[in-house]
Amino acid sequence: MGREERTPAEIRTTDKLKIQKILNDAGYIVEMGSSSVPTVVCKRREDMSKDLATIRKILKEQRYEGSFGVRAPRKTDELPVSENAEVKDIEDVVAAAG
């Protein structure tokens, strides 16, 4: 059985939704914007390059050849704060909320 070759234009929405679920299960926050490209929202800007390498590995294992994105969190994103977060990060979240 050969691998089915498809160009990025032929990537189906179901493939994108499957990848979104796989990345969610891997612990990433994934959004599908109006362009319907799965975009991973990193928890911290500093983690983007490390996360990108891991995400590429996951997508390669799944044989996903479509477009995807990785971005840093916005101030308006409501990301979960871990117990080990610095006080400055918590103050930023409170300031953004109020």
Residue 14 lies in a domain: yes
Residue 48 has pLDDT above 70, yes or no: yes
Residue 34 lies in a domain: yes
Residue 57 lies in a domain: yes
pTM: 0.64
Sorted by sequence, the CB contacts under 8 Å of residue 23 that are 6+ apart come out as 30, 38, 40, 55, 58
Residue 2 lies in a domain: no
Query: Other C-beta atoms within 10 Å of 91: how many?
Result: 10
Residue 37 lies in a domain: yes
Residue 66 lies in a domain: yes
Residue 87 lies in a domain: yes
Number of domains in the chain: 1
Residue 26 has a pLDDT of 93
Range of the domain at 34: 8-97
Residue 58 has a pLDDT of 94
How far apart CA 36 and CA 21 sit, in angstroms, is: 14
Angle between the N-to-C axes of helices 48-61 and 13-25, in degrees from 0 to 180, rounded to the nearest 10: 120
69 vs 87, higher pLDDT: 69
Residue 1 lies in a domain: no
Average pLDDT of 76-90?
Answer: 57
pLDDT per residue over 12-44, tens digit each? 778 888 999 999 999 999 998 777 889 999 988
